[in-house]
Structure 1
C-alpha cells in the first residue's frame, strides 16, 4: 500500500463480506484484521492483542469522552485525553476567584478531584450487524418518507430490545453505509467523571487560534480524568461514596516515545466523514455550507469576544462557546481551501461521469440503475434551490440560546396540553422536571443577553432577505418592510422576554405544570410559529429528500463497488476504529519540508514574538535553560519533543485518541490535523493528510518538572523505571 493506513470498524456478527483489496484509506472491520497488512507494516504484537472477541484486548482500554476519545492508563480508572476535550468541564468548575481554566488544576489526592460537569464516559462492550433486519423492514417500500420512518423505528426497536435484555447498558444502531448497512452498538456509560490534572491554558492551548490546525505546533493538549462508579461497580451519578472504576484493560505508557518513520497506530471514535458521496454533495459543501457556516461562526465569535472584553466572569462563561466556534470556523475554511486546492469537485464529476458510462454499458446494471445518476442530480438540484433556508434553520437554534429555551418550554407545554386531566399533567411534570431543568442549566451556562441579541438580530435580518424557495413564512408574516425594523423586532423579543432571567424561569415558570401553561410572551409565540412552519411545511419535504437520498446513496455505493471491483469501507460515524501509519513529515508547499517533531526550543522562540497567544509559564524557560530535561529528552534533538506529526487517517472525534507504538504502548495523544488535512472528511491523500499529537515525553516532563503532578508517574507505573 502507498499509505499504511487502516481504520477499523467493530462488528460482532459475521456475514458482511469485504473484498481482499485493502485501500489506501478507510475503515475496516476487525474481523478482517488478519488481511490488513498491519504486521507487514511494522506491528510487533499479535492481532488478537488489539481485538479479541470475548477476551481482554487493547480496545477495552478505549473510551468515548463526550465527543472525543480517551484511554485508561491505570487500573484505577485514570484516563488521558485532550485538554480541549475537558475544556467545558474546566470552564464550568472555574470562577474569577478560582480560575482553573487559566491556571490549571492539579489534584494530588483522590479527595481533591472535582466533578467534570457535563462529561460522561462510554465504553464499547458489544456490536452486532443488524443490516438484514433493517433492510428487511423496508423491503418493497417505495415511499421515501415511509422508508425513513421505518428505518428509524426499526433502529429504535432494536436498540430498545438490547437495553431491555440488559438494563445496565445503552445501545444505538449506527448507519454504516447510508441505506445499505447498519450495526447495533452496545455501550457501558459512566456518569461520574472527575478532573485529576489539567495543565494551565497557556500550555494546553498554547498558540490559541493562531496555531489551531497548523504545523509546527507546540501545544500541550492533554488532560487527565478519572472514572468513578458506585461501590457495587454500577454506573451512578456523582456522589462522594463512589469509587474509582476498574477497567478491564489499561494502556502501558512508554516514556521513550518514538522516532521518525516509526510505525504507530490509533484507536478512537472518529466523527463523520463523507468520502462516498457524489459530486453534487461536494458542490453543496463548496458553494453553500462551508462559506456560510464559517462566516456565521466568525460573526458569533466577534459578538462573544466583545461581550467578554471588560468582564472576566463573562469571558469565562463564553470561553467554551468561543473555542468551539473558532475551531469550526477554521476547520471549515481549511476544508474550503482544500477542496479548491485539489479541485475535488472536478475529480468527483469525472468519477461520476465514468460511473454513468459504466452503467450505460453494463446491461444488467443499466436495467436496474439506469436513472441513478440523473436521479441523484435531480435531488441535489432541489436541495440547491432552498439551500439558504436549510442552512439557516440548521443554525438558528444553536446560535441563539434563548430560542433553545423557548423551543424546549413550548415543547413541554405542548406535552402538558395533551394530557386530559390536571393530575396527569402534574405527573408528567414531576417525572420530567429534573432532567428538563438540567438541560436548561447547560444552555444558561453560556448564555449572555447582549450576545443573544446581536446574533438573533443578524439571523433574522438574513432570513428577511430570503426570496423565492428560500422564503420563510414566519418571517414574511411579520410584515416588516425595511431592514432596520428587523433589528428592532429582534431586540424587542430579547429585551421583553423574562426568559433572560434564569432564576425566574427555574423558580416561577417551572414551579408547576400550571405555571408553565400560564406563562407566555412574544418570544415563545415567535418560536411556536417557526416550529409550526418547520413541522408542517419544511420537515415533510426534508423527510422526503432524506428518504430518497437513503435509497440513492445505497445504490450509488453498490454500483461503485461493481465499477471498481472492490467493496468500500464505511465512512466514519463515531464508532470505534483503528488507523495506522508512520511518524512522518511532509511538504505542504514548494521548496518546504516540515519535520515531524517540535521542541521546547521552538516553543520559546514563538514566545519571543510578543504575541500573547504564545505566553507560557516562566518555569518552562527556567527548566529548559537549566537543561533540566530529566529522562524525557530525545537524544538526536537534544531537547524534549513537544508535538509529533504522522500520516494516519484521523478526523473529528479522534481528539484524545492514544497514539501507540508497534508494541501497543502509548507514546502520544492525538489532538489535531494540519490545515491541509481538514479536507480528510471528504478525501484522504498521502501527500498532505497529516495529523498532530502531543508527545508523551512532553506530557510527562510538564507534569514532573512544571506542574507538580509527578504523583501521576507512580500511578501509571513509570516513575521507578525512568529514574533508575
Structure 2
C-alpha cells in the first residue's frame, strides 16, 4: 500500500524515474545499482565507476580538506571544487589591498598559483568489506564489551594492511554497525589556489538565494594538486610539480535536456534515512526549531554590523556564511518534513513492516518510550551547543578554560602551548569582541528565557534581559583577557599572544578569574550535571535499538533496495535532469541562464551586484561556444540526485562519465532529503559546465587553463 501511494504522489515525474528513486540512494561505489542505472540511461559499467586495478572515475574524485568534494579536470592536476568550499583559503589570501573575495583571483601561469598550508585532498584507492573480521567473536557480549571488542578488531584489521607513509586505512560502519568497510586513502598536501571568481559571481545571491531555486550562482574555484618529482604526496615545496592523475574528467559543454541521466560522485556527510517516525517528529517539532532560534539571533546581530562596516564584513564573511548555511537548511528541513508528510509516511511504513514481521512492534514501542524520555535532555543539548557555538566569546572561554586546566595539571607541554597560541592567533584575526559581546548577550538571554530553569545554572536568572546583558557584557569584554582587550603581563592576547603566555601558570590563574570563563564554566557544569550523561545514556540505548531496527528492515522488506546512510565516505548517487513543482501552480524549470543574473542585478548590493565585465559580456552577447540552443549561457540546473552536505563540489557526470556540472546546493523544498527523500521535491543544484568555462575563458581571460582540459563540444 505504501509503495503505491508514494508512487502516485510523484505524478509529475516520468514513471520510471519516480520508481527508480523512490528512496533516493547514496551507493557505495563497489556496490552500485548498475542494472537500474543503465535502465535510466547510464552508458558506463560498474568497473568504470570504481576499479582499483585500472584507471576509473574514482581516480578523479577527492575529498577536499576533510569536508567537501573536488575533482581533477586536467592531466596536470587541475582541481575543481565549490567557491564556498575554498572560501576560507581565498579569504586567507585576501587583504584590504588585494581583496580576492571581492575582486576574484586568477593565476596566469603556474608560478602565480598560491600555496595553502594545511589543505589536503584524499583519494580513495580501495574499498573492502570487512564485516566478518570486525564482528568476529562479538556474539552475546554486553554493550561495553561489544564496543571494546569491535575496537580491538578494527585496530587489528587496520594494522594488517600494508600502507605507504602517505596512506591510511579507515574502517567505517555501515547500516548502523551491521556491516563494516575498509577504505585505503592517499593524502596529498600541496594544494594551490589557481583561480576564483569574485564573490559577486561565486556567491551571487548569497544568503537570500542559499538553498533555493531558481539559482544563478557561479559557485566554483580552481586549484591544483602538486606532488614530488615521483608523483608522490609531499609537503609544500617550490620544487614540487603538478600532480599527474590516473584519470581526469573530460568536460562536456553539450546542451542538456530534461530527462538526461546524471550521476553525482562524492563524499556526502551524514544522512539518517532509516529513523523511526518518533525520531523524525522530534527533529521536526523540537530540535530543529531550537537550533534555528539561536542562529536567528546571532545572524541578525552580525548582519546589522556587517552591512555598515566593510572591515567587519571582510572578517566575518566566512563565519556568517557558515552559520547561515545550516540555519536556512534546518528551516527548509522543517518545512519539507511537514509538506512531504514524512512522519505519516514513516508510520505507514512501520505498520507495513509490522504486518510482515510482528516482532518489529516491540522495537517501535521501545523507540517511542526512549525518544519521549530523552526529549527534554535533547532540547537542552540543542540550545546549549548552539549557544556556545554561536557566541564566539563563550567558545573562546571554553578554549582558554581547557588551556588553564591543562597547565594546572601539567598536561600540556611547550608544543601544546605553541599550538594553542597559533590557534588563538587565527581566531583573533577574524574576531570583533565588541560585536560578539552583543551576540553573546542576546543568545544568553534567549537561552535563559527558553529553557526550564532546572537545566540552567542559577546565575542565568540574572541574564534574561538582552539589553542589560549588552551593557554588562560590553564592560566585561573591555577588561577580559580572553577577548583580547584586557591586558595581562603588559600585553593583550590580540596584539602579543606570546607575551601573554610567557608565564602560563599565572595566566591559568588569571583565566579562571575571567568573568566570561566563569560564565562559560557555570553553563558547562550545569549542562554536564543535568543533561550530558542523561542524554548519552538514552542515545546509547537508541543507537543499539537502531542497529536492530536496521537489521529488521533489511530482513523484512526484501523488495526494497537498501543503501547505507551517508557517513563522509565515497558514494555514488544518480538521477535525471528535472525541474520541479514544489507548490500548487508553481513550476521551476530545470535550467537558469545569464539573463536571470541580469534580472536579479542590484547595483552595489552585497548579494546581487554584478561585475562590470560580466554585464559588458552579456550586453555584447559575447558568449562564444558557451551559449546553448536558446542563445544564452546556462548558469545552474537541477536534477533528482540524492545529495547532502559533503557533496559540495562533487562532479555531476553525464551518461558517459563526462563532467557536466558542479554540485553545490539543494532546493529549499527538498532539504529534508537527509531524513526523507521525496522525488517530488528533492533536487540538487549544480553549476553548469558551460558557465564555469565561460567565466574562466571570457570573464577571467584565463584560457591557458582550458588548454589543459579535454572539452567535449
Contact map agreement 2:294 2:383 (CA 8 A) in 1: no
Q: 1:278 aligns with which of 276, 281, 299?
A: 276
Q: Go from structure 1 to structure 2 and tell me whether the alpha carbon gap of 1:216 and 1:49 turns closer, same or farther (over 3 Å shift).
A: same
Q: Is 1:541 matched with 2:525?
A: no
Q: Which residue of 2 aligns with 1:461?
A: 445
1:211 aligns to what?
A: 209
1:659: which partner in 2? Answer: 652
Tell me the residue number matched to 1:57.
Answer: 56
Q: Give the corresponding residue for 2:47.
A: 48
Corresponding residue to 2:396 among 397, 405, 424: 405
Structure 2 gaps, min length 5: 1-13, 485-492
Q: How many residues align?
A: 687
Distance 1:552 1:87 in 2: 40
User: Residue 61 of structure 1 contacts residue 250 of structure 1 at CA under 8 Å; is this kept in 2?
Assistant: yes
Please say if residues 27 and 573 of structure 2, whose CA atoms lie closer than 8 Å, have aligned partners that are also in contact.
no
Partner of 1:260, secondary structure, is coil
Residue 295 of structure 1: how far off its partner (Å): 2.7
For 1:69, what is the secondary structure of its paired residue? strand
Aligned to 1:452: 436
From 460, 471, 476, the equivalent of 2:458 is 476
Q: Counterpart of 1:550 in 2: which secondary structure?
A: helix
- Alignment-derived partner of residue 606 in structure 1: 600
**Offset of 1:486 from its aligned partner?**
5.7
Q: What residue in structure 2 maps to residue 241 of structure 1?
A: 239
What is the Cα deviation at residue 25 of structure 1? 1.9
CA contact (8 A) 2:448 2:460 kept: no
Residue 35 of structure 2: aligned partner: 36
Contact 1:58 1:249 in 2 (8 A): yes
- Residues 47-196 of structure 1 aligned to structure 2 (within 5 Å): 47-66=46-65, 67-116=67-116, 119-136=119-136, 139-143=139-143, 146=144, 150=148, 153-154=151-152, 157=155, 161=159, 166-196=164-194
Distance 2:71 2:597 in 1: 27
Distance (Å, rounded) in 1 between the aligned partners of 2:165 and 2:642: 35
- Counterparts of 1:327-366 in structure 2, within 5 Å, are 327-356=325-354, 358-360=356-358, 366=359
Shift in Å at residue 440 of structure 1? 2.9
CA contact (8 A) 1:77 1:247 kept: yes
Asked if the contact 1:70–1:80 (Cα under 8 Å) also holds between the matched residues in 2, the reply is: yes
**8 Å contact 2:392–2:440 — kept in the other structure?**
no
Q: Distance in 2 between matches of 1:280 and 1:155?
A: 34
Which runs of at least 4 in structure 1 moved beyond 6 Å after TM superposition?
Answer: 608-611
Q: Using a 3 Å threshold, how does the CA distance of structure 1 residues 170 and 436 change in structure 2: closer, same or farther?
A: farther
Q: Which of the numbers 554, 565, 571 marks the counterpart of 1:571?
A: 565
Q: Among residues 303, 306, 322, which one is paired with 1:305 in the alignment?
A: 303
CA distance 1:210–1:289, change in 2 (3 Å): same
Q: Confirm or deny: 8 A CA contact 2:288 2:330 kept in the other structure.
A: yes
Aligned counterparts, 1:611-690, within 5 A: 613-635=607-629, 637-690=630-683
- Three-state SS of the structure 2 residue aligned to 1:80 is strand
Partner of 2:419: 435
Q: Quick one: distance in 2 between partners of 1:479 and 1:621?
A: 55
Question: Is the 8 Å Cα contact of residues 444 and 464 (structure 2) preserved in structure 1?
Answer: no
Question: Are the equivalent residues in 2 in contact too, given 1:92–1:117 (CA < 8 A)?
Answer: no
Distance 1:623 1:278, change over 3 A: same
Q: 1:713 offset after TM fit, Å?
A: 0.8
Q: Following TM superposition, by how much is the alpha carbon of 1:493 offset from its aligned partner in structure 2, in angstroms?
A: 4.6
Task: Kindly provide the CA deviation profile for residues 3-29 of structure 1, in whole angstroms up to 9, marking residues without a partner as x.
Answer: 6599xxxxxxxxxxxxxx996522333
Which TM-score applies when normalising by structure 2? Answer: 0.88
Measured after TM superposition, the shift of residue 459 of structure 1 is 3.2
Name whichever of 545-554 and 535-544 sits farther off: 535-544
Contact 1:461/1:487 (CA < 8 Å) preserved in 2? Answer: no
Question: 1-side partners of 2:333 and 2:388: how far apart?
Answer: 24
Q: CA deviation at 1:280?
A: 1.3
Correspondence list, 1:516-535, <5 A: 516-520=507-511, 521-522=513-514, 523-535=516-528
The change in CA–CA distance for 1:85 and 1:286 in structure 2 (over 3 A counts) is same
Is the CA contact (8 Å cut-off) linking 1:93 and 1:117 kept in structure 2? no
For the pair 1:498 / 2:473, whether they are aligned, the reply is no
Per-residue CA distance 1:116-161 (angstroms, 9 max, x = gap): 4664222222333343454447543445xx3686388448735873
Equivalent-residue separation in structure 1 for 2:531 and 2:99 (angstroms): 45
Gaps spanning 5+ residues in structure 1: where? Answer: 7-20, 361-365, 420-424
Provide the TM-score with structure 1 as the length reference.
Answer: 0.87
Match of 1:385 among 367, 376, 393: 376
8 A Cα contact 2:49 2:57, kept in partner: yes
Displacement of 1:104 after TM fit? 0.6
CA 1:313–1:228: 2 relative to 1, 3 Å: farther
Deviations 1:443-470 (A, max 9, x none): 33432212321222233323434665x7
| 1:68–1:655 contact (8 Å) kept in structure 2 | yes
**Is the 2:28–2:572 Cα contact (8 Å) retained in structure 1?**
no
Preserved contact between residue 307 and residue 450 of structure 1 (Cα < 8 Å): no
SS in 1 for 2:656: coil
CA RMSD of aligned residues (A): 3.1
Contact 1:158–1:173 (CA<8 Å) still a contact in 2?
Answer: no
Contact 2:102 2:198 (8 Å CA) reproduced: yes
Question: What's the CA shift string for 1:668-706, capped at 9, x where partnerless?
Answer: 111112211112111122222222111111111121111
Cα separation, 2, equivalents of 1:509 and 1:182 = 48
